[in-house]
């Protein structure tokens, strides 16, 4: 939308106070940022030149939310509900976010996992409205010019994907941008980053999904994926353009393949304010669950032995975060890595076989394991659990049912209360169900999942299953980075975030063995995470004056809290000021 139609007026904390409107008539409600639907007052209708364009009754936001909820109740599937909410967002962002906020637990399943996976797969056939940016080899050389079209929106967070590692469904070509749209809606819900400050970006370097390439209606760049130096040049062009146009904005890398996720993250560690949520956000939220389990068990993190079953980007990211946390807790680097085992589709990851570079850090020296003689026999999941003395088992393998009774009972020999985290999603790829894990351990397992599960009956009562959802981490991390003015994203930020999320678990939940807080507390938790991240930025010396605010916290916790709370947006109609 050209700047001449509207402009945002900010308060001292960088929060939007008013929208200055430079047009009249139909264009006012054609923009989803200025449209209020039937909530335009009679005075606004006169001032903005839309009197007569709407029926005479004036509704308030609460009435609009109730009407929208009634419409949603008539939908027959979550995909229909997804389409309704996306359509609502495209017309009226305030109303869309107010509806979602009315029941965040319910609607998170609709706007993000698992429903967003279907939206990615059906993106071309469901396309209704342009959202975000699509870069491809035909326009990447104009990246700066294209990004500058959005400068008037004061972009603060971009979620960027190359569409290759989408959830558990892989390469989805241009459809992967739906993931970015969903993540940014959660940034708004959790951290209060106003929708106009958010930018979803697809880096469309082609697809190796033959079904898409053969689909006559596919909307993406119809070529096989760029690889090697061509791929790297494309990514470098984008990164250079982004940091030139939005030097103070966060670039969150999302759903890259495991081959590229670490390389892209590491190449931009110091020249962009960027991080990879699949690696670092996942690592932090899993660490949070494990820290909570230590509170339940009254044990120390440094006394555990960890096995990550699934050495992709998320799995190795978890191992990285555990390594950092163990060192921070007092172990040496060698001692920390000795307690972390990883497995992939070939079994235990050892240095005796060829490995992708990102797996090498946690590969075991087979000669140092007296029980490891035959890779085919001794590298299996039950054998590793038994012989390595695993007390914390983490699943990122997408291998449904891989946490068998044999594996779980082997863990129960190692520890009275095994910590078992089957994280693969969607639900049908989960390594084990919570109900089975509790049944196989007589209720002693400490469980959190990646996908949402219904409550289970434990000891005669219903118990919520904690979900290791990255939404507890990335919105607060983003808000803490913005508030502190951090010039780069440090690993310590994610350790701090993990401790903040774990600290948010109530004593009542601790007594019940629930490892994660309820998602209904997302906004409060995001504030606590932001405070922890901002404080870590101050301590590390990477903070600077907040580029989006007149108010500066000056490395003071009270000032930081005032800023992160003051800059947050809530779904409420802003004054529209005719210009």
What would the two tokens of residue 15 be?
Answer: 């929060």
The C-alpha atoms of residue 284 and residue 277 are separated, in whole angstroms, by 9
3-state SS, residue 200: strand
Helix axes 522-540, 474-484, angle to 10 degrees: 40
The C-alpha atoms of residue 420 and residue 424 are separated, in whole angstroms, by 12
| Options 13, 84, 123, 183, the catalytic residue | 183
Do the beta carbons of residue 36 and residue 574 sit within 8 Å?
A: no
Q: Which helix (H) or strand (E) holds 381?
A: helix 381-388
The C-alpha atoms of residue 51 and residue 42 are separated, in whole angstroms, by 8
* Counts for the chain of helices (H) and strands (E), in that order: 25, 17
C-alpha to C-alpha distances, 172 to 161, 166, 184, 217, 485, nearest whole angstrom: 11, 7, 19, 14, 34
Within 8 A by CB and 6+ apart from 231, the residues are 205, 225, 260
3-state SS, residue 101: helix
Within 8 A by CB and 6+ apart from 272, the residues are 239, 242, 243, 251
| Options 13, 33, 112, 218, the catalytic residue | 112
What would the two tokens of residue 423 be?
Answer: 């994280």
Known catalytic residue: 183?
yes
**For the stretch 470-502, what's the b/e string if a residue is b when 16 or more beta carbons lie within 10 angstroms of its beta carbon?**
bbbbbbbbbbbbbbbbbbbbbbbbbbbbbbbbb
Q: Which helix (H) or strand (E) holds 481?
A: helix 474-484
The C-alpha atoms of residue 336 and residue 427 are separated, in whole angstroms, by 32
DSSP letter (8 states) at residue 362: G
**The pairing of beta strand 306-309 with beta strand 392-395:** parallel
What would the two tokens of residue 503 be?
Answer: 């600290």
The C-alpha atoms of residue 63 and residue 331 are separated, in whole angstroms, by 57
Catalytic residues: 112, 183
């Amino acid at each position: 939308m050209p700047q001449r139609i509207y402009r945002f007026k900010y308060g001292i904390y960088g929060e939007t106070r008013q929208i200055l409107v430079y047009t009249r008539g139909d264009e006012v409600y054609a923009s989803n940022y200025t449209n209020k639907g039937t909530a335009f007052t009679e005075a606004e209708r006169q001032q903005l030149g839309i009197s007569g364009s709407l029926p005479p009754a004036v509704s308030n936001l609460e009435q609009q939310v109730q009407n929208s909820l009634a419409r949603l109740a008539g939908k027959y599937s979550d995909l229909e509900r997804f389409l309704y909410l996306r359509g609502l967002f495209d017309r009226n962002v305030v109303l869309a976010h107010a509806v979602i906020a009315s029941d965040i637990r319910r609607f998170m399943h609709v706007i993000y996992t698992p429903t967003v996976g279907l939206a990615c797969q059906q993106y071309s056939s469901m396309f209704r409205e342009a959202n975000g940016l699509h870069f491809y080899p035909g326009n990447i050389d104009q990246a700066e010019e294209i990004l500058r079209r959005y400068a008037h929106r004061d972009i603060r967070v971009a979620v960027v994907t190359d569409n290759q590692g989408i959830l558990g469904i892989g390469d989805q070509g241009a459809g992967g941008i739906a993931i970015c749209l969903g993540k940014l809606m959660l940034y708004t819900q959790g951290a209060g980053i106003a929708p106009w400050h958010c930018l979803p970006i697809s880096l469309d370097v082609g697809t190796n999904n033959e079904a898409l390439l053969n689909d006559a209606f596919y909307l993406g760049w119809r070529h096989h994926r760029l690889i090697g130096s061509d791929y790297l040049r494309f990514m470098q062009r984008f990164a250079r353009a982004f940091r030139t146009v939005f030097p103070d904005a966060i670039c969150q890398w999302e759903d890259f393949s495991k081959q590229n996720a670490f390389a892209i993250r590491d190449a931009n560690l110091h020249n962009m304010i960027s991080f990879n949520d699949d690696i670092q956000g996942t690592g932090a939220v899993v660490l949070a669950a494990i820290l909570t389990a230590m509170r339940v068990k009254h044990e120390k993190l440094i006394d555990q032995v960890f096995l990550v079953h699934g050495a992709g980007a998320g799995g190795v990211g978890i191992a990285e975060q555990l390594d950092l946390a163990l060192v921070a807790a007092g172990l040496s680097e060698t001692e920390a890595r000795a307690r972390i085992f990883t497995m992939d589709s070939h079994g235990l990851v050892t240095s005796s076989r060829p490995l992708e570079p990102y797996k090498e850090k946690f590969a075991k020296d087979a000669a140092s394991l007296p029980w490891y003689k035959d890779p085919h026999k001794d590298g299996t999941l039950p054998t590793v659990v038994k012989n390595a003395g695993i007390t914390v088992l983490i699943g990122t393998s997408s291998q449904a049912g891989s946490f068998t009774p044999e594996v779980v009972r082997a863990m129960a020999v190692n520890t009275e209360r095994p910590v078992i985290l089957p994280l693969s999603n969607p639900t049908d790829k989960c390594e084990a169900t919570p109900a089975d894990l509790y049944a196989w351990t007589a209720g002693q397992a400490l469980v959190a999942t990646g996908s949402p599960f219904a409550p289970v009956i434990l000891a005669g009562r219903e118990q919520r299953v904690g979900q290791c959802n990255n939404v507890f981490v990335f919105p607060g991390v983003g808000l803490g980075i913005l508030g502190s003015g951090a010039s780069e994203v440090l690993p310590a930020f994610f350790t701090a975030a993990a401790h903040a999320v774990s600290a948010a678990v109530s004593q009542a939940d601790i007594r019940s063995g629930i490892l994660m807080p309820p998602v209904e507390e997302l906004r409060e938790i995001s504030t606590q995470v932001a405070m922890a991240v901002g404080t870590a930025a101050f301590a590390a010396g990477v903070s600077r004056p907040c580029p989006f605010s007149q108010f500066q916290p000056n490395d003071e916790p009270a000032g930081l809290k005032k800023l992160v709370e003051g800059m947050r947006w809530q779904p409420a109609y802003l004054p529209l000021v005719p210009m």
